[in-house]
């Protein structure tokens, strides 16, 4: 699992094997049924060469034999076709079930991904894994895996039939084994890293393209189109090289494989002939064995063909399983000595350093004690680290060193639901989930009764429209549409339900819809009432109205105190105030957001 830090982890071969085994054995009865049907079909396929061998043996002796043999062969072929049909139906059903399970597992893993990991790895890698790798793996499970099983069954049964015709006749088939073994081993050793490299190169390509498209305006504004193009060209070149490498591997391997399975046919014919001359085997047995060896080429070929596909699928599975292996950014796993309960509501930041990328500290030695019920404003120039500090205070990021505690317990030691009862970040995110209005509210507190929902909606003055709509009305995409203001109120109602004692309000991301601002402003004020509020202040009057102002500059706290005191002190805050505020007292002056 040792991966460069910038991409999501990749599972190792043993983990992939263990997971694949678990998947395959998920429905043992269906697996057994399809294996049985395929084996019967393969057995029916063995009848014809046997009868032909008999015919050669008895040539010219009994007139009736040929007609009987013909009838038996026809019946066997028909039976084989019918059995194969049912076997295919059974195994396809099984594959679909397995693919469904795979997708469910994957979605769950993606949803559980630590936020920090996603931010660090970039969305391109995740997008590539969600699309390309899942598609590749679906194809592997739907086509490659069942066909491999069929081929294996057929090969084993055919070898059994040869042994039945005469154990000695198995010997010439063995000439293929060393060639196949050596060349397949050579290939498999190189194929896994080769295909992993190809997949990773696709990830980088997707990521680069996604980034360029997402940031098209910025790319244009900065005039870096050439640089972006050059990056895309480099990524394509890398993909090309990776594809060429795997192509080269196949071009070396496949000729050896081709030779390897023509050898036994010739060998059986020659050796069978010699044995017959020696009287060691009958003519019929030698004939049947040669036909069987010929017949085995098909399944062996398919087996080797799919081996390649299985390799690609294995590489994709490794990447998909890797998503579940991202290290948690919280320390609340089982095995902790005790569940800590915060003693009090005070939040303390002690000696905190934080970096998004190693070696680039965004916050440096931040110390801050927030009293319960306090209104704190964090101000500072754009890029000073205000939003970052806000996310640390809300427990979204975990400090690199130092600690952020509530009531003495580190935020990252609290289970998520518990954390959300302590601190919440008020953001612009007001997604309406597909479901009833009630479902949308219960996300915040699943056990809340209807009268609590009503109370929450009343608090933010949304009960009127909500009761008119009805709690059981379906909302979200494709159902009743809520206005942006209603969606925002829904988000605020969730906060009231979750009832954290502290709110982190990032003004850059929690701006209210200006068309309905006044109404929402009142709703928001109702939510803030009685709670500790940490405002990431991008607007001046927020700082002015706060109990205490903290000035952040280049990741350090340079000043802290009430507005008046700081103005009186004539330090950095007074200078900021002067420059923001200017001669007129317009409250809409902004300090530059993110
Ligand atoms: P402010 O809110 O004071 O404007 P931020 O906390 O948003 O400052 O950003 C501080 C610094 O951290 C900036 O240099 C910004 O580019 C960087 N930064 C912010 N978010 C991320 C992120 N998700 N990944 C990497 N760097 C980030």
Please write the tens of the pLDDT for every residue from 514-573: 666 677 788 888 888 899 999 988 777 778 888 999 999 999 999 999 999 998 998 888
527 in ligand 1 pocket by Cβ < 6 Å? Answer: no
Q: Which domains does the chain have, with CATH numbers?
A: 13-323 (1.20.1560.10), 347-584 (3.40.50.300)
What CA–CA distance (Å, rounded) separates 163 from 296? 14
Give 214 Cα–ligand 1 centroid separation in angstroms: 18
Q: Is 537 in the pocket of ligand 1 (CB under 6 A)?
A: no
| 547 Cα–ligand 1 center, Å | 26
Which pLDDT score, from 0 to 100, does residue 334 have? 46
Residue 585 confidence class, pLDDT cut points 50, 70, 90: very low
Which two structure tokens, joined as six digits, stand for 72?
């038996």
DSSP labels for 399-419? -SEEEEEETTEEGGGS-HHHH
Atom of ligand 1 nearest to the CA of 594: 4
Of 299-303, 334-338, 568-572, the one with minimum mean pLDDT is 334-338
Q: Is 387 in the pocket of ligand 1 (CB under 6 A)?
A: yes
Q: What is the number of the ligand 1 atom nearest to the C-alpha of 592?
A: 4
Q: Is 60 exceeded by the pLDDT of residue 590?
A: no
| Residue located nearest, by CA, to atom 5 of ligand 1 | 385
- For residue 119 and ligand 1, the question of a CB distance below 6 A is answered with yes
Tell me the best of 362, 504, 508 to mutate to test the pocket of ligand 1, counting ligand atoms within 8 Å of each CB and taking the most: 362
Across 128-153, average pLDDT:
87
- For residue 385, report the distance from its CA to the centre of ligand 1, in Å: 6
CB count within 10 Å of CB 483 equals 12
DSSP-assigned letter for residue 424: E
Q: 323: closest CA among 108, 98, 23?
A: 108
Q: Which pair of structure tokens corresponds to residue 199? A: 């997949």
User: 243-252, 329-338, 351-360, 437-446 — which one is most confidently predicted on average?
Assistant: 243-252
For residue 4, pLDDT beyond 50: no
Q: Is the CB of 382 under 6 A from ligand 1?
A: yes
Q: Does the pLDDT value for residue 6 go beyond 60?
A: no
8-17, 263-272, 321-330, 402-411: range with lowest mean pLDDT: 321-330
Atom of ligand 1 minimally distant from the CA of 382: 4
Q: Which atom of ligand 1 is nearest to the CA of 119?
A: 23
Average pLDDT over residues 496-509: 84
Looking at residue 62, its pLDDT comes to: 64
Mean of pLDDT over the chain: 85
* 489 contacts: CB under 8 Å, gap ≥ 6: 457, 460, 461, 462, 520, 523
CA of 555, closest atom in ligand 1: 10
Q: Separation of 551 CA from ligand 1 center, angstroms?
A: 16
pLDDT per residue as tens digits for the range 205-240: 998 998 898 888 888 888 889 999 999 999 999 999
Q: Is 388 in the pocket of ligand 1 (CB under 6 A)?
A: yes
Ligand 1 binding pocket includes 594 (Cβ within 6 Å)? yes
112-119 mean pLDDT: 75
Q: What is the pLDDT of residues 440-492, one digit of tens each?
A: 999 888 888 999 999 999 998 899 999 998 889 888 877 778 888 888 888 88
**Nearest CA among 438, 433, 436, 447 for reference residue 493:** 438
Q: What pLDDT is recorded for position 5?
A: 43
Number of the ligand 1 atom closest to the C-alpha atom of 380:
3
**Which residue is closest in CA terms to ligand 1's atom 10?**
385
- The predicted pLDDT at position 592 comes to 43
Model confidence band, residue 127 (pLDDT cutoffs 50, 70, 90)? confident
Across 84-88, 284-288, 361-365, 543-547, least confident range = 543-547
363 lines ligand 1 (CB under 6 A): no
Split at pLDDT 50, 70, 90, the class of 369 is: very high
pLDDT in tens, 146-173: 888 889 989 999 999 999 988 888 988 8
User: Could you tell me the pLDDT band of residue 1, with boundaries at 50, 70 and 90?
Assistant: very low
What pLDDT band is residue 421 in, cutting at 50, 70 and 90? confident
Q: Provide the pLDDT confidence category of residue 332 given band limits of 50, 70 and 90.
A: low
User: For the chain, how many helices (H) and strands (E)?
Assistant: 22, 12
Give, for ligand 1, the residue of 381, 385, 558 to mutate: max count of ligand atoms closer than 8 Å to Cβ: 385
Half-sphere exposure in the Cβ direction for 300 (13 Å, CA): 23
User: Which percentage of the chain shows pLDDT scores above 90?
Assistant: 36
- Which ligand 1 atom sits closest to the C-alpha of 593? 4
Per-residue pLDDT, 587: 44
Asked if residue 308 has pLDDT above 60, the reply is yes
How far does the centroid of ligand 1 lie from the alpha carbon of residue 444, in Å? 28
How confident is the model over 261-286, as a mean pLDDT? 90
C-alpha closest to that of 552 among 535, 564, 569: 535
**pLDDT number for residue 588:** 43
Residue 273 above 70 pLDDT? Answer: yes
What is d(CA 172, CA 271) in angstroms, rounded to the nearest whole number? 7
Give the helix/strand (H/E) hosting 250: helix 225-278
Of 383, 504, 534, which is best to mutate to test ligand 1, by the most ligand atoms within 8 angstroms of its C-beta?
Answer: 383
Site to probe by mutation for ligand 1, drawn from 352, 388, 505, 556 as the one with most ligand atoms within 8 Å of Cβ, is 388
The shares of helix, strand and coil residues in the chain, as percent rounded to the nearest 5, are 65, 10, 25
Q: Which of 387, 392, 398, 554 has the most ligand 1 atoms within 8 A of CB, as the residue to mutate?
A: 387
The pLDDT tens digits for 183-202 are: 988 988 898 889 889 989 99
Q: 252 near 153, Cβ under 8 Å?
A: no
Per-residue pLDDT at 420 exceeds 90: no
Residue 267 has, within 13 A of its CA and on its CB side, a CA count of: 17
Strand-pair partners of 409:
406
Q: Helix 225-278 to helix 176-214 angle, to the nearest 10 degrees?
A: 160
For ligand 1, the distance from its centroid to the CA atom of residue 363, given in whole angstroms, is: 10
* Per-residue pLDDT reduced to its tens digit, 61-70: 666 677 888 8
pLDDT of res. 584: 43
> Is the predicted pLDDT of residue 131 greater than 90, yes or no?
no
Instruction: Say whether pLDDT at 412 is over 70.
Output: yes
Ligand 1 pocket, residue 383 CB under 6 Å: yes
In this structure, how many other beta carbons lie within 10 angstroms of the beta carbon of residue 583? 6
CA of 112 to the centre of ligand 1 (A): 24
pLDDT of residue 331: 64
Predicted confidence (pLDDT) at residue 366 exceeds the cutoff of 90: yes
For residue 163, report the distance from its CA to the centre of ligand 1, in Å.
Answer: 72
DSSP state of 170: G
List the residue whose alpha carbon is closest to atom 23 of ligand 1: 119
């Amino acid at each position: 699992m040792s991966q460069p830090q910038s991409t999501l982890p990749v599972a190792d071969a043993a983990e992939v094997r263990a997971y694949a085994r678990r998947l395959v054995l998920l429905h043992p009865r269906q697996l057994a049924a399809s294996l049985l049907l395929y084996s019967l079909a393969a057995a029916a396929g063995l009848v014809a060469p046997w009868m032909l061998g008999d015919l050669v043996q008895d040539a010219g002796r009994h007139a009736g034999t040929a007609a009987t043999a013909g009838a038996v062969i026809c019946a066997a072929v028909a039976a084989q076709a019918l059995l194969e049909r049912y076997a295919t139906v059974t195994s396809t059903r099984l594959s679909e079930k397995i693919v469904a399970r795979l997708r469910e597992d994957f979605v769950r893993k993606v949803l559980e991904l630590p936020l920090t990991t996603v931010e660090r790895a970039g969305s391109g890698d995740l997008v590539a894994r969600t699309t390309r790798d899942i598609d590749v793996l679906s194809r592997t499970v739907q086509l490659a895996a069942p066909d491999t099983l069929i081929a294996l069954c057929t090969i084993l049964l055919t070898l059994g039939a040869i042994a039945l015709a005469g154990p000695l006749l198995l010997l010439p088939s063995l000439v293929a084994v060393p060639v196949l073994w050596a060349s397949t081993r050579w290939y498999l050793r190189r194929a896994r890293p080769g295909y992993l490299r190809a997949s990773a190169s696709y990830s980088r390509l997707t990521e680069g393209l996604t980034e360029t498209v997402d940031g098209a305006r910025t790319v244009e504004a900065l005039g870096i189109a050439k640089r972006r193009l050059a990056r895309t060209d480099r990524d394509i070149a890398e993909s090309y090289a990776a594809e060429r490498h795997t192509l080269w591997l196949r071009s070396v391997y496949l000729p050896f494989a081709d030779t390897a399975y023509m050898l036994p046919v010739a060998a059986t014919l020659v050796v069978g002939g010699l044995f017959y001359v020696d009287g060691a085997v009958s003519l019929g047995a030698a004939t049947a064995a040669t036909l069987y060896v010929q017949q085995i080429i098909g399944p062996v070929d398919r087996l080797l063909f799919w081996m390649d596909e299985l390799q690609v699928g294995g590489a994709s599975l490794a990447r998909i399983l890797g998503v579940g292996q991202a290290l948690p950014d919280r320390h609340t796993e089982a095995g902790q000595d005790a569940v800590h309960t915060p003693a009090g509501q005070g939040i303390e930041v002690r000696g905190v350093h934080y970096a998004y990328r190693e070696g680039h500290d965004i916050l440096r030695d931040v110390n801050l004690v927030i009293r319960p019920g306090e209104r704190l404003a964090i101000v500072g120039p754009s890029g000073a680290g205000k939003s970052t500090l806000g996310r640390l205070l809300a427990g979204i990021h975990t400090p690199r060193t130092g600690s952020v505690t509530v009531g003495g317990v580190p935020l990252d030691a609290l289970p998520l639901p518990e954390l959300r009862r302590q601190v919440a970040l008020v953001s612009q995110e007001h997604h309406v989930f597909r479901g009833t209005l009630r479902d949308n509210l219960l996300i915040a507190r699943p056990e809340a009764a209807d009268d609590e929902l009503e109370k929450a909606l009343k608090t933010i003055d949304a009960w009127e429209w909500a009761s008119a709509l009805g709690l059981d009305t379906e909302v979200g995409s494709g159902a009743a549409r809520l206005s942006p203001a209603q969606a925002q109120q829904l988000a605020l109602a969730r906060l009231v339900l979750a009832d954290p004692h502290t709110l982190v309000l990032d003004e850059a991301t929690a701006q209210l819809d200006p068309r309905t601002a006044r109404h929402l402003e009142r709703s928001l004020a109702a939510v803030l009432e009685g709670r500790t509020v940490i405002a990431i202040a991008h607007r001046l009057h927020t700082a002015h109205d706060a109990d205490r102002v903290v000035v952040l500059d280049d990741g350090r706290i340079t000043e802290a105190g009430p507005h008046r005191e700081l103005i009186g002190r004539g330090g950095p805050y007074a200078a900021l105030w002067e420059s923001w505020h200017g001669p007129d007292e317009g409250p809409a002056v902004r300090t530059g957001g993110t």
